[in-house]
């Protein structure tokens, strides 16, 4: 149960209150710009562990049912916490956060239900789901950073544009997964078997 990939997943969960807590430090302890840099660093470290734990689990053949359960939970907690913080900082639209978090809850519940029916592969991660995740991570990173990276490039504008793309991909992937699951949800699959 406790192997290197699972420990990296736990590290990602531990990093969540750390990158959120940075914004609650007094400005005289840590100036706002430094808060952005540090929070972005923690978020990027968490995102890297997301990729690394999956890679190591496959490479070292250390996959486990618990790790497969915990990994997406850590991902969703990380994204939801960052989005709520960005809404509070007035860097992200609350409606976008609701759409993204609502989709994550909906698809997680759908996957759980499909797994109980033995049809989890029907809602396995798709290419559009991977694009959605990449857009979300890029948008959140840019919005947390919130400072000019290259002269003339406004990271807040870029982050908000990426967040719009992430929301579009979020809705697209939700429709895709719901369509994949529709035969079981509507009972069509049972009627074709009988």
Residue 176 sits in a domain of what CATH number?
1.20.120.1760
In the predicted model, residues of the chain with pLDDT beneath 70 are 1, 117-126, 188-194
Domain assignment of residue 177, given as a range:
4-182
pLDDT of res. 96: 96
- Torsion sign (Cα): 106, 108, 113, 117: positive
Count Cβ atoms below 10 Å from residue 150 Cβ, excluding itself.
Answer: 6
User: Does residue 188 sit within a domain?
Assistant: no
User: Does residue 189 sit within a domain?
Assistant: no
pLDDT of res. 191: 47
User: Does residue 103 sit within a domain?
Assistant: yes
Tell me the pTM. Answer: 0.86
3-state secondary structure 152-192: CCCHHHHHHHHHHHHHHHHHHHHHHHHHHHHHHHHCHHHHH
User: Does residue 192 sit within a domain?
Assistant: no
User: Does residue 39 sit within a domain?
Assistant: yes
The pair of three-digit structure tokens given for residue 6, joined into one six-digit string: 């699972």
pLDDT of res. 192: 47
89: DSSP letter: T
Q: Are 104 and 79 in contact (CB under 8 A)?
A: yes
- Torsion sign (Cα): 94, 176, 45, 142: negative
pLDDT digits (tens, 9 = 90+) for 36-76: 999 999 999 998 888 888 788 888 888 877 777 788 888 89
User: Does residue 72 sit within a domain?
Assistant: yes
Residue 78: C-alpha distances to residues 71, 147, 175, 178, 184 (Å): 11, 22, 23, 24, 30
User: Does residue 26 sit within a domain?
Assistant: yes
pLDDT of res. 32: 92
Domain count, the chain: 1
| CA pair distance 176, 170, nearest whole angstrom | 10
| CA pair distance 112, 106, nearest whole angstrom | 10
The contacts found for 92-98 with CB under 8 angstroms, 24 or more apart, are 92/143, 92/159, 92/160, 92/163, 93/160, 93/163, 96/163, 96/164, 96/166, 96/167
User: Does residue 171 sit within a domain?
Assistant: yes
pLDDT of res. 54: 79
């Amino acid at each position: 149960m406790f192997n290197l990939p699972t420990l990296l997943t736990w590290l990602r969960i531990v990093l969540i209150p750390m990158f959120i807590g940075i914004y609650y430090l007094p400005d005289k302890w840590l100036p706002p710009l430094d808060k952005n840099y540090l929070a972005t660093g923690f978020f990027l470290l968490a995102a890297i562990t997301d990729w690394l734990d999956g890679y190591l689990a496959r490479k070292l053949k250390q996959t486990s049912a618990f790790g497969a359960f915990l990994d997406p939970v850590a991902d969703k907690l990380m994204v939801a916490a960052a989005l709520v913080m960005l809404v509070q900082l007035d860097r992200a639209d609350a409606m976008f956060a609701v759409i993204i978090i609502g989709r994550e809850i909906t698809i997680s519940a759908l996957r759980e239900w499909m797994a109980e029916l033995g049809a989890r592969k029907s809602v396995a991660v798709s290419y559009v789901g991977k694009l959605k995740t990449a857009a979300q991570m890029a948008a959140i990173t840019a919005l947390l950073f919130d400072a000019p990276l290259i002269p003339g490039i406004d990271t807040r504008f870029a982050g908000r544009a990426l967040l719009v793309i992430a929301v579009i991909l979020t809705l697209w992937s939700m429709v895709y997964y719901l369509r994949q699951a529709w035969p079981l949800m509507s009972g069509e699959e049972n009627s074709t078997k009988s």
